Amino acid sequence: MTDQPSDPHWWRQAVFYQIYPRSFADSDADGVGDLPGVISRLPFLADLGVDAVWLSPFYPSALADGGYDVADYRDVDPRLGTLDDFDRLIAEADRLSLKVMVDIVPNHTSSDHRWFQEALRAAPGDPARDRYVFRAGRGPDGALPPTDWVSCFGGPAWTRLPDGQWYLHLFAPEQPDLNWDHPEVRADFLTTLRFWSDRGVAGFRVDVAHGLAKDLVDPLRDIGDVRGYDPEDLPEDGSHPLWDRDEVHGIFREWRKVFDEYDPPRIGVAEAWVRDARRAPYASPDELGQAFNFDFLNAPPSAPALRAVIDGALSAAREAGASATWVLSNHDVIRHASRLALPDELSRADRETWLLADGREPVADRALGLRRARAATLLMLALPGSSYLYQGEELGLPEVADLPRSALQDPTWERSGHQVKGRDGCRVPLPWTRSGPSYGFGDGGSWLPQPESFGELSVEAQEGVAGSTLELYREALGLRGQLLGDEGLEWLDSVGQPHAGVLHFRRSNGWQCLSNLSARPVQLPAGSEVMLSSGPLTGDEVPPHTTVWLLWP
């Protein structure tokens, strides 16, 4: 176990960098990224200026859902390395003053998990099945699923076994849902939290945190499609049978007790798709401490919309006693350099259609997308709270929308009957060098094909180049480290030119951020000094789609 500095609040305004291990760096030329690959690139991350890394799952997995189908929560997938490699990773991160957060996937296991294998060998009604959700079917011969629930990846949320029983999977059939009313399930996850905490991890990103507690009292209720729901449509009183039930908080209060056994206390961040008004408990100090807020990512790029989202997130975090979280990209969404290249009015469904058209229709304005992405990043990094970056956004990587269909691995592709292309386009391995078989990702090619454009976007191509996206991130993270004070934010409507398309606020230490989201230039506030700009300025004007950090001498 490493000695971590014991500031218990280090995470409140930390910048986290999400590593999707299979796509980060490949050390053994098998085309798949691995932990030794991560270790070799940690100096790059320290130099970038992030505080912590979050590792997406690296556990043994059949990869039915990119590793979010975990066969053993306390081991490393042999294709990605060993526990010794993990320990070396922690030691090297520690040496570089980087903290490490890991992903924990408690809603479901892999169907390869020893518990599920035991359940399959057992007869209907055997207690070995109680760790999961098994039911008889409906209809005279039980041939119909127990409910009409549709899984998040499409298709029924139930699969029938040859012995006639059905089991629940809110995601792929290879991801059976656990029964969190079972004491052994609860106890085993506490063992897992201690296992990684003892090895020196700083915290846990909690997958599908809002799904663990379910109303499984028979008869189960029909509710239909559980996909792509709008969290604001969930009932206010927590009465949905699957999502955001009040009982879930008892689980996380138990987890908190484990977190607090350590110095500094371990932290958690909930992936919780819940109503804004019900997010606070997940993030409270007696539960996980933080919860993701994806409203910032989903907001249209307009000043009033973003301001409302920022105010809402800050006040919700205050209410929870947590700090706010900000995300623009992750392994589940279209990379923001591409999302912001598309017409603003596109809905999430329209963006799926764009992916299905291999990114051809509507035409993405890539230059505009990158410009807006850089402006959005500087805005995000100026906000109070934690920012979660996703690997490759520091290079301005676009979504790879035209991956050949034969290469697609996301289960949504098959499960949707080829109607939803899925998330592979943001998971294409990173380019480190201008040329070479996989642009420096590894010597053995890459498990998803990289486009030619990756060469000029590589780390090598951007390193030391003034104005490159990589150097912008470095400068921003360096400055942020120097400027960061308390978590206050004061909107400045009266300084400079009042303008509906502008977000302008003050942080502590004389630091101001002005983001011009409109289509026309805005005058720089008189007397201000520009520390950093997301794009070139024109005289004393901030051009459209540009963010500046100002110092008020």
The interface mask with ligand NOJ, positions 292-331, x = CB under 6 A, is: ---------------------------------------x
10 Å CB burial of residue 61 (0-12, 13-18, 19+) is buried
Rounded Cα distance between 137 and 130, Å, is: 16
Question: In the complex, what is the shortest distance from the CB of residue 21 to ligand NOJ, in angstroms, rounded to a whole number?
Answer: 13
Q: Return the number of the residue (93 or 105) whose C-beta is nearest ligand NOJ.
A: 105
Question: In the complex, what is the shortest distance from the CB of residue 256 to ligand NOJ, in angstroms, rounded to a whole number?
Answer: 22
Q: Which of residues 344-383 bind ligand NOJ (CB under 6 A)?
A: none
The verdict on 207 binding ligand NOJ (CB under 6 A) reads yes
The verdict on 332 binding ligand NOJ (CB under 6 A) reads yes
Rounded Cα distance between 459 and 121, Å, is: 50
Total count of residues recorded for the chain: 553
Q: Return the number of the residue (105 or 548) whose C-beta is nearest ligand NOJ.
A: 105
Q: Is the bond into 231 cis (omega within 30 degrees of 0)?
A: no
Rounded Cα distance between 2 and 83, Å, is: 15
Name which position in 68, 132, 296, 326 contacts ligand NOJ (CB under 6 A): 68
177 φ/ψ angles, rounded to the nearest 5 degrees = -75, 140
Name which position in 208, 248, 397, 426 contacts ligand NOJ (CB under 6 A): 208
Rounded Cα distance between 534 and 527, Å, is: 20
Name which position in 15, 105, 202, 513 contacts ligand NOJ (CB under 6 A): 105
Rounded Cα distance between 353 and 195, Å, is: 43
Question: In the complex, what is the shortest distance from the CB of residue 157 to ligand NOJ, in angstroms, rounded to a whole number?
Answer: 13
Map tokens 């690296």 to a residue. Answer: 58
Question: 158 with 149: CB under 8 angstroms?
Answer: yes
134 φ/ψ angles, rounded to the nearest 5 degrees = -105, 140
Q: Is the bond into 398 cis (omega within 30 degrees of 0)?
A: no
Question: In the complex, what is the shortest distance from the CB of residue 270 to ligand NOJ, in angstroms, rounded to a whole number?
Answer: 11
Q: Is the bond into 264 cis (omega within 30 degrees of 0)?
A: yes
Question: In the complex, what is the shortest distance from the CB of residue 211 to ligand NOJ, in angstroms, rounded to a whole number?
Answer: 9
Beta strand 546-551 pairing with 529-533: antiparallel
Question: In the complex, what is the shortest distance from the CB of residue 504 to ligand NOJ, in angstroms, rounded to a whole number?
Answer: 34
Rounded Cα distance between 410 and 416, Å, is: 11
**Cross-strand pairs, 53:** 17, 100
Closest-by-Cβ residue to ligand NOJ is 68
The verdict on 77 binding ligand NOJ (CB under 6 A) reads no
Q: Return the number of the residue (171 or 441) whose C-beta is nearest ligand NOJ.
A: 171
Question: In the complex, what is the shortest distance from the CB of residue 331 to ligand NOJ, in angstroms, rounded to a whole number?
Answer: 6
Which residues are marked as active site? 207, 261
Q: Return the number of the residue (248 or 522) whose C-beta is nearest ligand NOJ.
A: 248
The verdict on 424 binding ligand NOJ (CB under 6 A) reads no
Structure tokens belonging to residue 198 = 């003892």
For the beta carbon of residue 44, count every other beta carbon within 10 angstroms: 14
Query: Quick one: which H or E segment has residue 483?
Result: helix 469-483
**What single-letter DSSP state applies at residue 14?**
-
Dihedral over alpha carbons 536, 541, 543, 544 (to 10 degrees):
150
Q: Which of residues 264-293 bind ligand NOJ (CB under 6 A)?
A: 271
In angstroms, how far apart are the furthest CA atoms of the chain? 79
Structure tokens belonging to residue 260 = 């607090």
The verdict on 413 binding ligand NOJ (CB under 6 A) reads no
Q: Return the number of the residue (159 or 533) whose C-beta is nearest ligand NOJ.
A: 159
The verdict on 112 binding ligand NOJ (CB under 6 A) reads no
The interface mask with ligand NOJ, positions 43-62, x = CB under 6 A, is: --------------------
In sequence order, which residues have a C-beta less than 8 Å from that of residue 273 and are 6 or more positions away? 210, 229, 231, 243, 294
Q: Return the number of the residue (153 or 505) whose C-beta is nearest ligand NOJ.
A: 153
The verdict on 65 binding ligand NOJ (CB under 6 A) reads yes
Question: 232 with 244: CB under 8 angstroms?
Answer: no
- Binding footprint of ligand NOJ, residue count (CB under 6 A): 9
Q: Return the number of the residue (268 or 301) whose C-beta is nearest ligand NOJ.
A: 268
Q: Return the number of the residue (331 or 371) whose C-beta is nearest ligand NOJ.
A: 331
The interface mask with ligand NOJ, positions 147-186, x = CB under 6 A, is: ------------------------x---------------
Q: Return the number of the residue (175 or 512) whose C-beta is nearest ligand NOJ.
A: 175
Question: In the complex, what is the shortest distance from the CB of residue 65 to ligand NOJ, in angstroms, rounded to a whole number?
Answer: 5
Please provide the DSSP assignment of 487-526 as one string.
Answer: S--EE-SSSS---TTEEEEE-STTEEEEEE-SSS-EEPPT
Question: In the complex, what is the shortest distance from the CB of residue 166 to ligand NOJ, in angstroms, rounded to a whole number?
Answer: 20
Structure tokens belonging to residue 97 = 């003053």
Q: Return the number of the residue (193 or 208) whose C-beta is nearest ligand NOJ.
A: 208
Cite the beta strand spans of 173-332 per DSSP E.
203-206, 267-270, 289-291, 325-327
Question: In the complex, what is the shortest distance from the CB of residue 105 to ligand NOJ, in angstroms, rounded to a whole number?
Answer: 6
Please provide the DSSP assignment of 357-378 as one string.
Answer: TTTTTTTP-HHHHHHHHHHHHH
Using CB under 6 A as the criterion, which residues of the chain lie in contact with ligand NOJ when the complex forms?
A: 65, 68, 105, 171, 207-208, 271, 331-332
